[in-house]
Amino acid sequence: MDTITHALSGALLARATGGRSALPLSRRLLLGAAAAAFPDADYLMSLGSPIAFLLNHRGITHSLVVLPAWAWLLAWLASRLWRDPRGWRPYIPLAAMGVGIHIAGDLITSYGTMILAPLSDERFSLGTTFVIDLYFTGIILAGLAASGLWRTSRAPAIAACAVLVGYVGAQAVLKSRAIEAGEEYARGQGLAGAQVRALERPVSPFNWRIIVARGDDQRYADVNLIAKNMPTPPPENAGLIARISATFAPLHMARWIAAPRFGGSPEDERLAREAWQQPTFRFYRWFADYPALYRIDRANPSTCVWFEDLRFSMPGRRSVPFCYGMCRQEDGAWRPYQLLADGVRRPLE
């Protein structure tokens, strides 16, 4: 989830759990929002190195193992800020809930969250909700607005929390339906043993990307689970939302696209495999769940092999997020780069 939605969710939870709290409502709302936003402090890691960001974002600050320590730190800071003679104890339950709701909000997206860090760097993901979901955020805003109108009642905030749970549950049902469609496609194509995954997409909760992967053979389709007709092609000057929406076909008209991990030709595959196995590309091998060859730039003085992750590529966008690669220099050495917008590459060493 985006940081603003995280903060709003913390405020909503603080409002819903107020009861006979010893803390004033204003303090509860501020601490709930601050604690729920806190784990994204790891964005500061991106200021130093994109590799460090990939390796550490949603890591130690998003860990259930370390959550008690973060809760105590935030509670202690709150008690000092408000000069509360009672110390940190009245603040720690709310601080813990704030950090916890942030972790839960990230866990339902497909990015992956290292909830066991530092004991393990395994990333967990439920993959029901897109990282920026306007419906999800809207439910929170509605709950907070209603709470402002009915100041003496927690009912609006509690109801909004219940609606959020129901919304995510409905998305989980839609995800199951998308996976079933992918499994049916795999059977029809004779892809026994293929891995099928459904990824939530933006704009509508009915938009999904279905990935069918068997070894290095990967295929995907962007579908809308309730659409009956193909979307109208967007005009040249269409905005981002219109361009994205136009890519999702009805399930019965799904357009399956091949996205092999190492390309389609023998020469591309040989070069891509060589780049992929370089020791300095280990960070991306760990990060990417569904890596696919994006393109190969053959030029003097260097040749660059670029990979995308099918979790993040989005038709309708003019740039590919999390696109990394290896460039072979004149001396024959491979070096890692990030591909930015407009084809600009950024060295990572």
Question: pLDDT tens digits for 328-344?
Answer: 988 889 999 999 877 78
**What are the helix (H) ranges across 189-265?**
240-245
- As a dihedral over the C-alpha atoms of residue 86, residue 91, residue 92, residue 97, rounded to 10 degrees, the angle is 170
- The pLDDT, as a whole number, for residue 314 is 83
At 3, the pLDDT band (50, 70, 90 cuts) reads very high
Write out pLDDT tens, residues 222-233. Answer: 999 999 999 888
The residue with tokens 């199951």 is 176
Q: For residue 278, what pLDDT is reported? A: 96
SS3 22: coil
Strands 249-250 and 345-347: unpaired
DSSP string over 23-89: S-HHHHHHHHHHHHHGGGGGGGGGGT-HHHHHHHTTSGGG-TTTHHHHHHHHHHHHHHHTT-TTTTG
What pLDDT score was predicted for residue 19?
A: 73
CA distance 328 to 283: 18
pLDDT at site 253? 94
φ, ψ (nearest 5 deg) of residue 161: -60, -40
Rounded average pLDDT over 247-260: 94
Whether residue 156 has pLDDT greater than 80: yes
Candidates 216, 173, 219; CA nearest to 196 is 219
Percent of the chain surpassing pLDDT 70: 99
Do residues 348 and 49 touch, judged by C-beta distance below 8 A?
Answer: yes
What amino acid occupies position 259? A
Per-residue pLDDT band for 286 (boundaries 50, 70, 90) equals very high
- Is residue 56 predicted with pLDDT exceeding 90? no
Of the listed ranges 47-51, 64-68, 125-129, 200-204, the least confidently predicted one is 47-51
The model carries a pTM of: 0.92
* pLDDT score at 321: 87
| Helix (H), strand (E) at residue 185 | helix 155-188
Mean pLDDT of 192-221: 95
Q: Do 208 and 200 contact (CB within 8 A), yes or no?
A: yes
Overall average pLDDT of the 191-204 stretch? 94
Residue 89 to residues 29, 62, 76, 129, 275, Cα–Cα distance (Å): 17, 22, 8, 34, 53
Count the helices and strands in the chain (H runs, E runs).
10, 10
Total Cβ atoms within 10 A of residue 333:
12
Report residue 300's pLDDT band, with 50, 70 and 90 as the boundaries: low
Within 13 Å, how many C-alpha atoms sit on residue 105's CB side?
30
Give the pLDDT band (50/70/90) at residue 31: very high
Residue 78 neighbours by CB under 8 Å, 6+ apart: 27, 31, 84, 88, 91, 95
Whether 21 has a pLDDT exceeding 80, the answer reads: no
